[in-house]
Amino acid sequence: MLDFEWPWILLLLPLPWLVRRLLPEIQPQYERALELPYIEEFADSLATTPTLETHTGLWHWSLALLAWVLLIIATAQPTWMGDPVDLPASGRDLMLAVDLSGSMQTKDFLIKDQPVDRLTVAKQVAADFIRRRTGDRVGLILFGLNAYVQAPLTLDRESTAHLLEEAEIGLAGKETAIGEAVGLAVKKIGSGPQPSRALILVTDGANTAGVISPLKAAQMAADHGIKIYTIGVGADEMTIRTFFGSQKVNPSTDLDEKTLTQMAELTQGRYFRAKESQQLEEIYQLLDTLEPVTREQQAYRPRTALFHWLLGPALGVAGLLLYAWQRGGLGR
């Protein structure tokens, strides 16, 4: 359907006619006379034969009127309203919190038999997870010594995934403020029905920074109806080279699985352990099974502006009239 942003402007359409009717005609300052003998012989022909100037003037007035009508309609901002388009009617508010502390650079994961650091694997798998969450609002928090929002809750999942892929080790500091990350997530997600709000926390260590403890932050999340799914990343065995030769060590000794488990239980969530890249992918596939809650159906109508289709011809006609006036083809 056709709609106008400023329909009241259409009231100006009869303005030229009103001006013509209400204002007195401008009288010529000088009158010219031409004496013709036997003028009576030409009287009949002058009265019945239209002159070229008469036709030209009529065309000029018609073009001027057309330009005025086009200009007024264009100024009223005509807009074509398309058919209603339904927005996603279901989904969750998912906030993803990713650890960027120094320990995330430990290369104890394998991709195609090549050692890679924990953050690289976490970014790759989580970015794919974000892109799959059709209908969800997904946000991103990065934390280390401090926690900050890299992407607010949004339906633009591609942008959120891209921002995650650009994250680097140490961007938020070398330490690990798990409690701060959870507290910030609670603040950004807010309150609502419990099944529709969740935080996915990815870390490889224990809380070593911040003024709020992870369990206190988890209790805040539980009070706001937010589930927390914690994921502890890191292998439990890797081989390193030392002065005395190769030696097997546990690179995940700093991982506080007890606290991460308690955080998940407080919020009716779940704790997952990812010792290799395949396990991390399986965890996100399991998280994909979260059932979305039904929201009120929303729709919008696409709008297409049409004013330029009228403004262009109006300016073109006005240009022709100006050219004719400058060439003397229009009465001055």
Block residue for tokens 């596939």:
285
Pairing between β-strand 78-81 and β-strand 303-305 as defined by DSSP bridges: antiparallel
- Number of alpha carbons in the 13 Å side-chain half-sphere of residue 262: 13
118-127, 161-170, 239-248: segment of lowest average pLDDT: 239-248
Give the helix, strand, coil percentages of the chain, each rounded to 5. 40, 25, 35
In this prediction, residue 241 carries a pLDDT of 64
Cβ proximity of 60 and 330 under 8 Å: yes
Q: How far apart are CA 328 and CA 148, in angstroms?
A: 70
pLDDT over 50 (residue 41): yes
Q: Per residue in 7-17, pLDDT tens?
A: 888 888 888 88
Strand order in the sheet with 93-99: 147-154, 137-143, 93-99, 197-203, 227-233, 270-274
Question: How long, in residues, is the chain?
Answer: 332
The answer to pTM > 0.85 is: no
- Mean pLDDT calculated for residue range 35-44: 55
Longest dimension (CA), the chain: 133
pLDDT of residue 162: 95
Instruction: Tell whether the model's pLDDT for residue 332 goes beyond 50.
Output: no
Which pLDDT does position 316 carry in this prediction? Answer: 86
> What is the C-alpha to C-alpha distance for residues 211 and 181, in angstroms, rounded to an integer?
11
- The percent of residues above 90 in pLDDT, for the chain, comes to 34
Model confidence pLDDT, tens digit, residues 77-113 = 888 887 776 665 556 889 999 999 988 998 888 888 7
Exposure on the CB side of residue 263, measured as CA atoms within 13 A: 34
Q: Which of 293, 301, 274 is nearest to 285 (CA)?
A: 274
Q: Look at 53-57, 157-161, 187-191, 317-321 and tell me which has the smallest mean pLDDT.
A: 53-57
224-252: average pLDDT? 76
Cβ-proximal residues to 96 (8 Å cutoff; 6+ apart), any chain: 126, 130, 138, 139, 140, 141, 164, 199, 200, 202
Q: What is the pLDDT of residue 96?
A: 96
Residue showing tokens 């997870």: 129
Mean pLDDT of 324-329: 70
Question: Domains in the chain and their CATH numbers?
Answer: 2-27+34-83+304-326 (no CATH), 90-294 (3.40.50.410)
Task: Answer yes or no: is pLDDT of 49 > 50.
Answer: no
Confirm if 156 and 131 have CB atoms less than 8 A apart.
no
Among candidates 117, 89, 81, 130, which has minimal Cα distance to 204? 117
Q: Give the single-character DSSP code of 105.
A: G
More confident site: 238 or 316:
316
Dihedral sign for Cα atoms in the order 33, 36, 39, 42: negative
* pLDDT tens by residue, 284-295: 988 887 655 455
pLDDT in tens, 173-222: 889 999 999 999 999 998 655 457 899 999 998 999 889 999 999 999 99
pLDDT in tens, 261-275: 999 999 999 999 998
Give the count of beta carbons closer than 10 Å to the beta carbon of residue 142: 22
Give me the pLDDT at residue 35, please.
58
CA–CA distance, 295 with 320 (Å, rounded to integer): 57
- Residue 229: band (very low, low, confident or very high) from pLDDT cuts 50, 70, 90: very high
